[in-house]
Amino acid sequence: MLQYEGLKERIVARFDEMSPQLQKAARYILENGQEVALISMRELARNAGVQPATMTRLAKFLDLPGYDDIRAQYSQALRSQADGFAARAQARDVDGPSGSGLAHGMVQTLSAQIARLNAPESIARLERVADTLAAAGRIYVLGLRSCHSVAWHFHYVMTLLGEKTVHLDGPAGTGVDGMRRAGPGDVMLVISISPYAKQTLELVGLAREKGMGVVAITDSEVSPLSNVSDEVVICATDSATFFHTLTPALAVSEVLCGLLADRDREAAVRALQEADRHLQSLDIYANEIPKRRF
């Protein structure tokens, strides 16, 4: 573990001196440490989007004889981690849901809640919702108050893929205006959890009157949305805190995006490349990481 820590620190320390490709490789290794020990260098390079040679070069750059030495260190770390793990996990579990236990407990709960989406029924629901959304002319995305984050994220990702979604939100209450042109053949994706905002239910009613389809991400089989939606995905919102969690709901929305992109992979790739060019031309992103300007 010591050596491993040393290596990781060395990578971080000398990161700024590296060439772009070396940084790309180093970054991937830092973020996916366990993989280093478990897969081949070539595969790692593939995943990192880098030439195999770059990994060797990274090793030399770090004053190591070769890549095998990188792997050796990560293997060693994994070995000792595997040994000591059970003990540490048990020790941690004991000290209850207070202090650092709270963070631990929340993370654990969230992980489990998301894992629960793997129930066959949930997967089936996700597929059906994705089907409906894929078949839709336009997708009108509605998520008010706490659900705004989920709605917006879904919309944002989908805009990278095309022009299919309309986000029903906007300054000065103009959000609703987006629905003017909606009609049969279009679908509303509505996200709402308890307590359910009245406006959400009203807008769903409006959608129905217009003959639109409705699919929902919500928190219960008996949510008011379940009654009025064609398809529903249920996700957990319980939390040890005073608040409801939206993390599982966000996970659902990301899975939906993934499924939709997967329906037409080439189109998705094309759209993303185009979006990329667009953002490049607008100079939105920092292409290279500024070197300690501050």
Partner DNA sequence: ATATTTTTGAAACAGATGTTGCATAGACTC
Partner DNA sequence: GAGTCTATGCAACATCTGTTTCAAAAATAT
Interface residue with a second copy among 100, 173, 180, 266 (CB under 8 A) is: 100
From a second copy, DNA, none, interface partner of 68 (C-beta below 5 to 8 A by class):
DNA
Which of the listed partners (a second copy, DNA, none) does 108 bind, with a CB threshold of 5 to 8 Å by partner kind? a second copy
Q: Which does 137 bind (CB under 5 to 8 A by kind): a second copy, DNA, none?
A: none
Residue 216 structure tokens: 């929902």
Q: Decide: is 29 part of the binding site for DNA (CB under 7 A).
A: no
Contact call for residue 50 and DNA (CB under 7 A): yes
Positions 62 through 121 that interact with DNA (CB under 7 A): 65-68, 71
Cβ atoms of residues 8 and 28 within 8 Å: no
Distance, in Å, from the CA atom of 243 to the CA atom of 117, rounded to the nearest integer, reads: 20
Distance from the Cα of residue 64 to its chain's centroid: 35
CB 205: neighbour CB atoms within 10 A?
12
Residue 13 near which of DNA, a second copy, none (CB within 5-8 Å, type-dependent): none
Does 146 interact with a second copy (rule: CB under 8 A)? yes
Part of the chain binding a second copy (CB under 8 A), chosen from 31-39, 49-57, 60-68, 131-139 = 31-39
Q: Does 255 bind a second copy (CB under 8 A)?
A: yes
Query: Residue 120: left (phi > 0), alpha (psi -120 to 50), or beta?
Result: alpha
Closest distance to DNA from the beta carbon of 25 (Å): 9
Q: Which does 208 bind (CB under 5 to 8 A by kind): a second copy, DNA, none?
A: a second copy
**CB closer to DNA, 44 vs 141:** 44
Residues 54-93 that bind a second copy (CB under 8 A): 75, 78-79, 81-86, 88-89, 92
Rounded to an integer, what distance in angstroms lies between the CA atom of residue 232 and that of residue 190? 10
- Applying CB under 7 A, which of residues 21, 149, 199, 226 lies at the interface with DNA? 21
Exposed e or buried b per residue across 234-263, where buried means at least 16 C-beta atoms within 10 angstroms of its C-beta: bbbbebeeeeebbbbbbbbbebbbebbbee
Q: Which of residues 120-139 bind DNA (CB under 7 A)?
A: none
Examine residue 224 and say whether the peptide bond preceding it is cis (omega within 30 degrees of 0): no
User: What are the beta bridge partners of residue 141?
Assistant: 167, 189
Rg (CA), the chain: 24
The whole-angstrom separation of Cα 133 and Cα 142 is 14
Which backbone phi and psi does 215 adopt, to 5 degrees? Answer: -125, 150
**H or E element, residue 191:** strand 187-192
Does 235 contact DNA by CB under 7 A?
Answer: no
Binding residues for DNA, per CB under 7 A? 19-22, 40-43, 50-57, 59-60, 65-68, 71
